[in-house]
Structure 1
Amino acid sequence: METRSIARIALFAAIIAALGLLPRIDLPLAGGVPITAQTLGVMLAGVVLGARQGALAVLLFVFVVALGAPFLAGGRGGLGVFFGPSAGFLVGFIPGAFVCGLVARRLAGLPVFVGSAVAAVIGGVIVIYAFGIPVLAWKAGMTLVQAAIASSTFLPGDMLKAIATGLVAAGLRKAMPAPRRA
C-alpha cells in the first residue's frame, strides 16, 4: 500500500473521530442509541476513498475506539461500547463504508452528487441499520419492529448526511482529480 493511501485512511479515521466532538443527541425512543455526526464520516470515507480504503479507515477508527480512545460522540470509547445498544451500528460502520464505496463506483456514470448520495443512503443508512437494528432490539429488549420504528427517528438526519456526502463528493471532484479507488 502506498504512503498516500495510508495517509488518506488515517485522515478519514481522524475525520470520523473529529465528528465525534460534535454533541450527541439522546432520544428516549431510540433505546440508548444517540444521534451523532459520525455516520457522515463513514459515508464520506466510502464514497471518497472507495470500498477497500474506506472500510480500512473505519476499521482503524473502530479499532482505536476499542483500545479505549474516547472518540465516539459523548467521549465514549473502550470495549464497553461493543456491549451496548449502539454496538450494531458501530460495527455496521465498517461494511457500511465498504458498500458506500462499491455503490459509488457502480454509479460512476451518474452525476457525482447523485451517485454519491445514493451510495451514502445504501451503504451509510441501509447497511448500517441492517447491523444496528437487530442489536438494538436484543440489547434494549425490543422486537425487531419496535427497534426499526425507534431507529426511524434517525432517518431525517441520515438523509441530510447523505445529501451532504453528495455535495462534498461533488465539490471534491471539481477541486481535484478523482482519487484512485481500491
Structure 2
Amino acid sequence: MERNVTLIALFAALIAVLGLVPQITLMSGVPITAQSLGVMLCGTVLGGRRGALAVLLFLVLVFLGLPLLSGGRGGLGVLAGPTVGFIVGFPFAAFVAGLVVGQWRSAPVALASFVGCILGGIVVLYGFGVVGMAWKLGKTLEEAALLLTPYLTGDLLKCAIAALVTRGIEQVRPWTLISRS
C-alpha cells in the first residue's frame, strides 16, 4: 500500500515537473506541453488504475489552485478555456494506456506501451480534447479536430519516448513496472 501511494505521488509530481518545460501555444489556444508525456508514462509504468489515480491527484492539486499546469496555470479557471477537454481526459488517457500495457502481455513492453500511448494518449485524449475545444471555441467537432492536426507529430513522438522509457524501466528495474505485474 505504501509503495503504491508513493509511486502515485511520484508520478503526479512527474507530470507537474514536465509542466516546467516551456509551452508553445498555437492559434487554437491549446499549448504544446510535455505534460501529456507524463500522463502516458503514468499509465504505461503504473498501470491503468494507479496511473489514473496519479493523474487525478495531480488534477486535484491543480484545481486547488497550485500552478502546476504548463505556463503556471492552476485553479478551477483552467476548466473555462479550450484545454478543458484535455484536462478532463488526462485520467482516462492514463487508464487506457496502462490497460493496454497490462493486458497485452504477449507483446514486447515497448510495442505495448507505444500502442497503449497511441490509444490512450492520442485517441482517447484527442476525443476529449476535440469535444472541449468545439464547446469552448464554438466550432463543430470536425473544425475542432482539424485544429489538432499540428499536434499529432509531437504526440506520436511523446508516444515513442514513453515506450522507450517504459522499456528502459523494464530492463533496469523490472519489478517497478507495475503495469506488467
**TM-score under structure 2 normalisation?**
0.96
Answer yes or no: is 1:7 the counterpart of 2:6: yes
1:100 match: 97
2: CA distance, partners of 1:180 / 1:106: 12
2:156 match: 159
1: CA distance, partners of 2:112 / 2:95: 15
2: CA distance, partners of 1:47 / 1:180: 9
2: CA distance, partners of 1:48 / 1:38: 15
Q: How well do the aligned residues superpose, as a CA RMSD in angstroms?
A: 1.0
Q: Secondary structure at the match of 2:148?
A: helix
2:69 match: 72
Instruction: Provide structure 1 residue ranges, at least 5 long, that are not aligned to the other structure.
Output: none
1: CA distance, partners of 2:119 / 2:47: 14
Q: Runs in 1 of length 4+ with deviation above 6 angstroms?
A: none
Mapping 1:22-171, distance limit 5 Å: 22-28=21-27, 30=28, 32-171=29-168
Shift of 1:180: 3.6
2:18 match: 19
Question: Residue type matched to 1:98 in 2?
Answer: F
Instruction: Provide structure 2 residue ranges, at least 5 long, that are not aligned to the other structure.
Output: none
Shift of 1:126: 0.6
* 1:96-116 deviation line (CA, Å, top 9, x unaligned): 100111111122211111110
Q: Secondary structure at the match of 2:78?
A: helix
2: CA distance, partners of 1:99 / 1:126: 10
Question: Residue type matched to 1:22 in 2?
Answer: V
Question: Residue type matched to 1:88 in 2?
Answer: G
Q: Secondary structure at the match of 2:82?
A: coil
What is the count of residue pairs matched by the alignment?
Answer: 179
Identity %: 52
**TM-score under structure 1 normalisation?**
0.96
Shift of 1:157: 0.4
Question: Residue type matched to 1:37 in 2?
Answer: A
Question: Residue type matched to 2:170 in 1?
Answer: R
CA contact (8 A) 2:45 2:178 kept: no
